Structure 1
Amino acid sequence: MLPLPRRRRFVAGLLLAPLLTGCFASGGGDESSDSAAGVRLKVALAFPPAENFSPYGADATLLSRLGVTEGLTRLDANGAAAPALAESWTRENDRDWLFTLRDAAFQDGTEVTPKAVAAALTRAAGADPVTAALSGVELTAEAAGDSRVRVTTADPDPALPLRLSSPGLVILSAKAYAKKDAVSPVGTATGPFELTKTTGTTAARLDRFDDYWGGRAQASGVDAKFIADGTARTNALRTGEADIAEAVPVSQAASLDKATRRETATTRTTSLLLNTGSGAFKDARTRAAVREAIDTSALAKGVYEGYADAGAGIYGPALTWAADKRVKPAGRAAAGSATGKTVTVATYDNRPELPEVAQVLKQQLEKAGFTVKLEVREYSRLESDALAGKFDAFVSARNTMLDTGDPVSILASDHTCEGSYNLAQLCDKNVDKAVSEAESVSDTAERQDAAMTAEAAVLGTDAVVPLVHQRIITGVGAKVSGVLLDPYERSLVGVGTRR
């Protein structure tokens, strides 16, 4: 690799622009129609930052969708690992992988070096709680020459290149880790847009990073506003206060012109997760009663108005290989009585269909004999309680390929004894064995087969009731092009996104 050329930065003028506050409108200079400079994009997002933009939790995807952060690899359209900050990689043996870095710079002007990359991965590996992509994985990294990094796992990990594409394993400069107990992506990432200012959980300002290795972005920056209410997000697009609105509610889809409405099949599955650790659903027979009481087709046709398919499993039809490989769950308990059992079902309102899903579930479960209490909050105010098992059941819309792009990894993080996102508090030796066996498989087709066997083991516990497989609706202004409609929901704004 040639020596890194001297870099110049051009964002000084952008940093002087006024901070986004109550609305999307920016200062006059930012709305320039000069095609060379580009105009700023106004984006309405559903989920506010929950952890001060830390890349190790729910905010990781937020940073990725806004084009701020990158990892060594990324997912291509087929879900395979593709080059990002790493140009190429080789597997040296069962546990060691060697990644060759491209010529790139951090947004603070420092170089992306093997030492910096190794430090970033080491910090991610030591995060507490562990980032979902590393659930059950011990990882170390070290510089291996002028342009290479060696990544080693304690156990063989055939999916490591996929795992390193995770939004939770992004590479930041040394400045990001200046504080022992916090990680800051502000001005320390490598993507085409630099996070420069934030306004709590209401708004964020991003400016174009002119030295981005992948080319200069066509938009001069992004003004992001976090609007939990789906109707308000849709109205922002309709009135021109937003150029892009994510997660348009199905109830609002008809209010948008066809030209501004984009429908994308995704790997997101909405499920009912039953708390197997305590309460009524510790009993497998009571969980079976829930499974038999739920009519998923009513949810797909009613709540989602046809923008979803009835739940078939943890993996949905967006993964075209899953249907032909699905294994029928075995060993399910017979349904017990629901009479006299009071349960609390929780969900969040950032995805506007979920409270309605919970309401329909309440009706279906009460018809079966349960007494049901609903609890609905914003996700950031709910997650810690859900992870702690404080609810009997939780309605969640989870992208099964989000964390790693590997079908096995989602099972490890969400459904094993040591899983970092185990909302069902599931700890079943048969599930852990099936997932462990799947994790050891290298061949892609065989790994998919093993994932489906493990899926059947999870479903056999009735800890998870798949409800629907979602299609998402993105609102895109008539003058906007280049929006990244990603079925994995990792990307939204990129180099070619413009107005």
Structure 2
Amino acid sequence: MRSVRPRRWAACLLLTPLLTGTLSGCFAPADSSDPKADSTGGKRLRIALAFPPSESFSPYGADATLLSRLGVTEGLTKLDGNGAPAPALAESWTQEDARTWQFTLRDARFQDGTPLTGAAAATALTRAAQASPAPAALSGVSLTAEASGERRVRVTTATPDPALPLRLAGPSLAVLSPKAYGKQGAADPVGHATGPFTLTKVDGSTSAALDRFDDYWGGRAQAPGIDARFIADGTARANALRTGEEDVAEALPFAQAASLAKGTGREVPTARTTSLYLNTASGPFADPELRAAARAAIDTSVLAENVYEGYADPGQGIFGPALTWAAGKRQQPTGRASAAQPHGATVRLATYDNRPELPEVAQVLQQQLEKAGFKVTLTVRESSRVEGDALAGKFDAFIGARNTMLDTGDPVSVLASDYTCDGTYNMARLCDKNVDKAVAAADALADQDKRRDAAMAAEARILGTDAVVPLVHQRNILGVSTTVSGVLLDPYERTVVATGTRR
């Protein structure tokens, strides 16, 4: 039986935007009699994370999310509970014209002691815009930034970008101190960010240590620091939680949920969709009729009920039911090819094991595809060792779990990044002029409701190519010790800890 999060948690999440210091009102008071507690009554948090840093904690790629989840980095904006842009390092903003926005910064300091200024914010955004490869949040977007006052920064895009405030909430567009940037374009977040915790030590891909940043603008964190371990094996993460070695363990296997101690398993609805991406540029799935055959061979209900043990919903589209606005706007796929007979076509299928269900999903798909007439070879590796090869087209099919709101919070930007000719995270290597046209049409709209309508029309066009087969819309199991309070249950998976997180 699933454990249900306490009612006061639900109330806190509904009434309070993510990453806000006012969440401390939802937490139990500290036990100041504990000799191991610091002056706030808190002790260091021990957290087990599923994905190790793969880019030396670069703030521009996949590691940007790790920095955000651990409370190290922040952007000018963040996402609120409804997926709308909310103030973060920027207190407010105004749109001056179709391409220009001005952001007023709050009174804050970097972890190296320097003040947050318009010039510092402009430097950070300029460096991000010049990074190679470009941050996913800037896929298809060119911007410039300049200080327009001591605490103001003006951001201009090459073409109108109605989603810019959403885009700037992306973890890869965090604002770092000018001292963070080296001569070769590298950016070092250690001691140069603005969040409530500062990264102090990194042991390769094994562990990291963080200390509290006492001068944080949002108030002093209740935990004096964080000790993070990167444990790829989901069962090992669950065992570390059970034995008390870890206080928080993310992305636990669903098979472990029933054996967790009462009150320690938190079910979190997410915007994460597990999908099968078919390589449209080379190999057997360059043929749209074979892509149609693969899609027709897959039974997603088996995956949702058996592999995910009911902690997922069968795939409906790129955007799942956690995004409540998507359900009433979904359209039928357009332009699908007829399925051809595979006749033993060989398919190289790959996935990663950091999310423990994915290898099992891959085995089920292997069986389903072989039953339909394909011959399938399967590769399973750790994510940092397989994802680059998938992007380079070294596999015919790839199974990945993608939080569609992780990079920008804007559905159109997600489609541009993942499914257009110039997309930077195009696992399917799709380049279709009709898809590009539909995404561009959506991107031209400023009204949020109309933009979402157009995004769903573009989704229908993408699904019609059979370049991607949505498998399940996932819920996560977050393991939290009963001695810990204030862990954030974030459907966008950008945050875990905040100033009120403590044990």
> Normalized against structure 1, the TM-score is what?
0.93
> Does the CA contact (< 8 Å) of 1:164 and 1:404 recur in 2?
yes
What does the per-residue CA deviation read over 1:90-137, in whole Å, with 9 as the maximum and x for residues that have no partner? Answer: 000000000000000000111111111101000000111111000000
> Does the CA contact (< 8 Å) of 2:119 and 2:150 recur in 1?
no
Match of 1:77 among 78, 81, 86: 81
Match of 2:176 in 1: 172
Match of 2:281 among 277, 281, 284: 277
Separation in 2, partners of 1:334, 1:268: 29
Separation in 1, partners of 2:262, 2:311: 15
Q: List aligned pairs for 1:340-489, cutoff 5 A.
A: 340-489=344-493
Match of 1:290 in 2: 294
Separation in 2, partners of 1:41, 1:154: 43
Deviation at 1:38, TM superposition (A): 2.2
Residue 108 in structure 1 maps to residue 117 in structure 2:
no
Helix, strand or coil for the counterpart of 2:303?
helix
> Does the CA contact (< 8 Å) of 1:69 and 1:190 recur in 2?
yes
Deviation at 1:31, TM superposition (A): 7.9
Q: List aligned pairs for 1:5-20, cutoff 5 A.
A: none
Match of 2:24 in 1: none
Match of 1:131 in 2: 135
Q: List aligned pairs for 1:138-177, cutoff 5 A.
A: 138-177=142-181
Identical amino acids, percent of aligned pairs: 72
Q: Which letter does structure 2 place at the counterpart of 1:285?
A: E
Deviation at 1:493, TM superposition (A): 0.8
Separation in 2, partners of 1:163, 1:429: 24
Separation in 2, partners of 1:31, 1:319: 45
Separation in 2, partners of 1:415, 1:444: 21
Match of 1:224 in 2: 228
Deviation at 1:330, TM superposition (A): 1.4
Deviation at 1:33, TM superposition (A): 2.3
Number of residues paired by the alignment? 470
Deviation at 1:371, TM superposition (A): 0.3
Separation in 2, partners of 1:145, 1:57: 30
> Does the CA contact (< 8 Å) of 1:271 and 1:464 recur in 2?
yes
Match of 1:498 in 2: 502
> Does the CA contact (< 8 Å) of 1:32 and 1:39 recur in 2?
yes
What does the per-residue CA deviation read over 1:214-244, in whole Å, with 9 as the maximum and x for residues that have no partner? Answer: 0000000000000000000000000000000
Match of 1:338 among 325, 342, 345: 342
Deviation at 1:382, TM superposition (A): 1.1
Q: List aligned pairs for 1:168-207, cutoff 5 A.
A: 168-207=172-211
Separation in 2, partners of 1:313, 1:134: 23
What does the per-residue CA deviation read over 1:34-92, in whole Å, with 9 as the maximum and x for residues that have no partner? Answer: 45252100000000000000011110110000000000000001100000000000000
Separation in 1, partners of 2:157, 2:472: 35
Deviation at 1:251, TM superposition (A): 1.1
Match of 1:62 in 2: 66
Separation in 2, partners of 1:234, 1:36: 29
Helix, strand or coil for the counterpart of 1:325?
coil
Between 440-449 and 95-104, the greater mean CA deviation after superposition: 440-449
Structure 2: 5+ residue stretches without partners: 1-33
> Does the CA contact (< 8 Å) of 2:304 and 2:313 recur in 1?
yes
> Does the CA contact (< 8 Å) of 1:37 and 1:220 recur in 2?
no
> Does the CA contact (< 8 Å) of 1:60 and 1:167 recur in 2?
yes
Q: Which letter does structure 2 place at the counterpart of 1:142?
A: E
Q: List aligned pairs for 1:193-272, cutoff 5 A.
A: 193-272=197-276
Helix, strand or coil for the counterpart of 2:97?
coil
Match of 1:19 in 2: none
> Does the CA contact (< 8 Å) of 1:340 and 1:371 recur in 2?
yes
Helix, strand or coil for the counterpart of 1:205?
strand
> Normalized against structure 2, the TM-score is what?
0.92
Separation in 2, partners of 1:31, 1:178: 42
Helix, strand or coil for the counterpart of 1:118?
helix
Structure 1: 5+ residue stretches without partners: 1-29
Deviation at 1:374, TM superposition (A): 0.4
Deviation at 1:183, TM superposition (A): 1.4
Match of 1:329 among 333, 347, 355: 333
> Does the CA contact (< 8 Å) of 2:116 and 2:151 recur in 1?
no
Match of 1:25 in 2: none
Helix, strand or coil for the counterpart of 1:382?
helix
Separation in 2, partners of 1:143, 1:35: 39
Deviation at 1:413, TM superposition (A): 0.3
Separation in 1, partners of 2:112, 2:502: 24
Separation in 2, partners of 1:414, 1:130: 13
Q: List aligned pairs for 1:78-93, cutoff 5 A.
A: 78-93=82-97
Q: Provide runs of 4+ in structure 1 moved above 4 Å.
A: none
Q: Which letter does structure 1 place at the counterpart of 2:62?
A: A
What does the per-residue CA deviation read over 1:385-409, in whole Å, with 9 as the maximum and x for residues that have no partner? Answer: 1111110000000000110001111
Separation in 2, partners of 1:208, 1:140: 33
Residue 97 in structure 1 maps to residue 95 in structure 2:
no
Separation in 2, partners of 1:297, 1:271: 13
Separation in 2, partners of 1:408, 1:194: 33
Separation in 2, partners of 1:349, 1:48: 12
> Does the CA contact (< 8 Å) of 2:127 and 2:185 recur in 1?
no
> Does the CA contact (< 8 Å) of 1:31 and 1:40 recur in 2?
no
